[in-house]
Structure 1
Amino acid sequence: MGDIGYSQVKSQLDLSAFDPLVPARLASVTSVTPTQGELLIPAKVAPKDDRPLNHLLFALKHEGVNLQLLSQALRKIPAQEMLAAICESPTGVYIRAACFLWEAFNKQELKGAPVITGPMVNLFDPKKYITGPSIRNAKWRVNFNGLGSLDYCVTVERTTRINSLLESNILQKANEFLSELGGAASDRAMSWAYLSETKSSFEIEHETPSATKSEAFVELLKKAHLTTQLDEEYLVGLQNTAITNPLDRAVNYRHQQNWLSSPLRGAAGVTYIPPPPEIVNDLMKGLVDFANTAPKQIDPLIAAAIVSFGFVFIHPFMDGNGRLSRFLFHHALCQSGALKNGLLLPVSIAMKRNEDLYLAALKSFSEPARKRWEVIWIDGDEYQMAFKSDDSLYRYWNATACVEFGLEMAKQALEKDLREETEFLAKYDLIYRAIDGQYDVRGKDLNTLILACMEQNGKLSANRRKKFTTTVPEEIFNAIEVEYAKVVG
């Protein structure tokens, strides 16, 4: 079996783009056959020769739109070859799409092309991809309907899991759930959500926040509901709020190279390298433009996942990127108007519980990106780093795994974390009212004992009873256990 389509073009033109997730291969099959890891192609369907343009047109038809690879390949194909192909087939859907992209990536016009007539065609098939608003190109009669713009665009495939999660209407259910709780219970649930989201966001970074850091991050989360457009100045202000060490506070996007590392020594310990500082401003402009418009144009949870992961992949600051990326998830949901003011889905709790899945989503981009850097360890934390690709690596990326993860975490945050905590608080209230109505106990002591009883599945240990023996009569310990059994039973 031989590689064809995108894989063939990548090899033939020596491109630094990521390998196709599902490569197309020539095989002894009678029709195009998708399998778990590859797309099997019969000889009668394969390109007639090895010219890169023919393989690109085949790939656009059978493999979908890979902007990262297309941007690199189309810059290496001469204008005369594109013109010859469009003159030969002026109504062809895929050559029209290729010509449209050629002009965009080469920043020049294909002069002498025939006048294109016929119906408009979408660049991204809405049945296969999550798409954005359509922008018409009259010359090639192509609708650009990607997620973002040709300056910064991600792709999200419509997997079975993504379609199922979208159909579950997570945000609508979150609003309904909080409305059903009523004012007081809703306020208590949200107080828990803000504090727990803060704790989990720090725990993801293996850090236990001080009271000052926790307060700073809670205040940051509350700003998500402000209708503020993102820009460099605003993001710098948020970074300064999230970072308590004044020496780590930024004044603008970074002008230095940063990287993430593991405990391993030397180059092997460098696990991810964000884009070089000279292209950070341009990449952030593309991401910020998307973040300011997409939450009201596409499903807000999809926009939130793209913005959150896109931010952490660019890593525009020297510190605080992880916390800010998770803030931006909430910011996108709030800016969409799909969540009631003050409502927060504690997605970081779900992320912390599913750290292996979070890491897998990050690695879907970070691992292949790391391979495009040459790293030489000099000494200590001094490295020589050389980027062996171009900005298309960070400008066009496949966000399918990240979106699937983000949707799943939002679902768990609502159906598991918020519901479980709300049920816990409701049971606590019932027990508290029952005991407080029968006995005269200090509120602080009663609170501690009820929580201890609930956490220990209805039992107060001998040690716990001994600790309160001077202030709480023995019958109250027993009464708390009895009330717990009534409520839970």
Structure 2
Amino acid sequence: MTGAPQYQFSGVVTVFHDRRLPEEAQPAGYAALIDAYGLGVPVPLTLAAIGQRHKVYEAEDWRIYTPRHRPDDSLTGHLTFALRYEGLDLCVLKALFRRTGPASIADIVRGAPTGAFARRVWFLYEWLLQARLDLPDARAGAYAPVVDPGQQWATEGTSSTRHRVKNNLPGTPAFCPMIFRTPALEGFVARNLADRARALVADVPADLLARTAAFLLLKDSRSSFQIEGEDPPQERILRWGRVIAEAGRRSIDLEELLRLQKIVIGDARFVRLGLRTEGGFVGEHDRSTGTPIPNHISARHQDLAELVDGLIDFDRTAARALDPVLAAAMLAFGFVYIHPFEDGNGRLHRFLIHHVLAERRFNPPGVVFPVSAVILDRIDDYRRTLESYSKRVLPLIRWRPTDRNNVEVLNDTADFYRYFDATPHAEFLFSCVARTVDVDLPAETAFLKAYDQFKTRVKAIADMPDRLLDLLFRFLRQNGGVLSRRAREKEFAGLTDAETAEVEAIFAELNPRAI
């Protein structure tokens, strides 16, 4: 290539960037490009290499290809391999294009002006860098999709006549996570959980459904605080629950996010509301010195306005062309990685899940899926999901402690938050939504049915106020269906032995303790 610098591609290795290979193999595609061009980017979750066997297989975060898949040791060779076999990693591609400069990419296009690969690379260069190459518009070649929809989730797309490609990227240059098609995600989408949820509640009486919805809403609101290690007063839990109930009714913009943050925080005497004006991190402080010990470093405050605009634009455009759960994962986890506020990010992150699902009418009308409650039950999985990206990004961020025991980021990190692999996040969120549909919604409806039947049948034995019926029910549920001696001698001393036995038999028959 004219005037292009020469870069050395790695030979056969057993370790690459601290990752052991399952056999001696030569890194290919993105792995080869990251190494040869010295790209400071998060290494993809799965890397590719050329092994000695004549069978493609996966092991230990590697996909090992056969010798016949070996690309030329050149920019074109490994870039072609990456786009063909590894899908799009926009963070790697943008860093690569910055390193190669425009001439090398223009040479690729001039070498094969009608080739689908060259036109895809050309489009991606101009789209990612928002810079025009010195090339005339394409005049021939069938329109090719920028994203291979067989590998990654994409939109229907719009035509780019300059490049003769279909831009089906699931986002904008300002914010565009990618999600790979996996058997787990294909299975979740095929189940059509939204229709299943509507079918579950179709025959539930309106009053019972309203009570079910109210309980699930309260459960989600309380759990969202508990995830953050907070135990607020009931009034604050109820207030946030009312906000969750309104999710999807208002479009998301900065003003709305600021309104929600104010509600989340409540007492803002010691918290600065609005976008951060300094660094941010999630982690601990050294007990002796106060020095930050980050597990995650948030986006630089200088980049927040642009990144939040990207999130908002994504929510208004591409998110509406994707499966609702996939879109919710991309938006919500993108928000929590950016961490735009000093406090309240976690609860707003989970609110955005509700926002997308409600706006897209994924959940039945008036019913909130208690996603936060499922997350609380699976808190270790949730943290592993967050760390699936944070751990890969953290070593790439250069920072120093400030005199306020905060962090100051010293390098350009904005693209780390724009372009990330959201596949683990989508799988996790879909599993949470599936549990609410398969377990929580039918269980809560069944529980309330059993509770109503219990009250009706016990009232036929002994007429008592609802307050005492509720207490009786709770005592039985807490004590394995048997009324304790203390309860029989105090609160329910008025019941005869025969009546007590009959009440316990009713409870055992309805079996609400097992729900």
CA contact under 8 A between 2:179 and 2:423: conserved in structure 1? yes
CA contact under 8 A between 2:41 and 2:393: conserved in structure 1? no
| Cα separation, partners in 2 of 1:481 and 1:387, compared to 1, 3 Å | farther
Is residue 390 of structure 1 aligned with residue 395 of structure 2?
Answer: no
Is residue 424 of structure 1 aligned with residue 447 of structure 2?
Answer: yes
Deviation at residue 196 of structure 1 after TM alignment: 0.5
Is residue 446 of structure 1 aligned with residue 469 of structure 2?
Answer: yes
Separation of aligned partners in 1, 2:159 and 2:391: 35
Aligned to 2:111: 88
Separation of aligned partners in 1, 2:462 and 2:276: 61
Which structure 2 residues correspond to residues 190-339 of structure 1 after superposition, within 5 A?
A: 190-226=213-249, 228-247=250-269, 251-262=273-284, 265=287, 269-339=293-363
The farther-off stretch of 281-290 and 434-443 is 434-443
Separation of aligned partners in 2, 1:328 and 1:37: 31
Aligned to 1:161: 184
| Cα separation, partners in 2 of 1:356 and 1:264, compared to 1, 3 Å | farther
Deviation at residue 456 of structure 1 after TM alignment: 3.1
Separation of aligned partners in 2, 1:73 and 1:308: 27
Deviation at residue 260 of structure 1 after TM alignment: 1.0
Q: Secondary structure at the match of 1:181?
A: coil
Deviation at residue 375 of structure 1 after TM alignment: 4.4
Q: How far does the alpha carbon of each residue in 1:328-375 deviate from its partner, in whole angstroms, 9 at most, with x for none? A: 111111111333431211111111111111111111121122222234
Separation of aligned partners in 2, 1:295 and 1:105: 19
Aligned to 2:54: 30
Q: Secondary structure at the match of 1:260?
A: strand
Separation of aligned partners in 2, 1:267 and 1:96: 49
Unaligned runs of 5+ in 2: 1-24
Deviation at residue 475 of structure 1 after TM alignment: 4.1
Q: Secondary structure at the match of 1:64?
A: coil
The TM-score normalised by the length of structure 2 is 0.89
Separation of aligned partners in 1, 2:172 and 2:46: 24
Aligned residue type for 2:260: L
Separation of aligned partners in 1, 2:279 and 2:176: 23
Aligned residue type for 2:381: L
Unaligned runs of 5+ in 1: none
The TM-score normalised by the length of structure 1 is 0.93
Q: How far does the alpha carbon of each residue in 1:36-71 deviate from its partner, in whole angstroms, 9 at most, with x for none? A: 52122344432323x334322221112111101001
% identity of equivalent residues: 26
The farther-off stretch of 75-84 and 444-453 is 75-84
Separation of aligned partners in 2, 1:187 and 1:442: 22
The farther-off stretch of 403-412 and 16-25 is 16-25
Which structure 2 residues correspond to residues 404-483 of structure 1 after superposition, within 5 A?
A: 404-470=427-493, 472-483=495-506
Is residue 341 of structure 1 aligned with residue 332 of structure 2?
Answer: no
Q: Secondary structure at the match of 1:91?
A: coil
Aligned residue type for 1:230: I
Aligned residue type for 2:236: K
| Cα separation, partners in 2 of 1:112 and 1:377, compared to 1, 3 Å | closer
Is residue 118 of structure 1 aligned with residue 176 of structure 2?
Answer: no
* Count of aligned pairs between the two proteins: 486
Q: Secondary structure at the match of 1:147?
A: coil
CA contact under 8 A between 1:174 and 1:414: conserved in structure 2? yes
The farther-off stretch of 154-163 and 297-306 is 297-306
Aligned to 2:19: none
Q: How far does the alpha carbon of each residue in 1:64-87 deviate from its partner, in whole angstroms, 9 at most, with x for none? A: 111010011011213232222222
Aligned residue type for 1:246: A
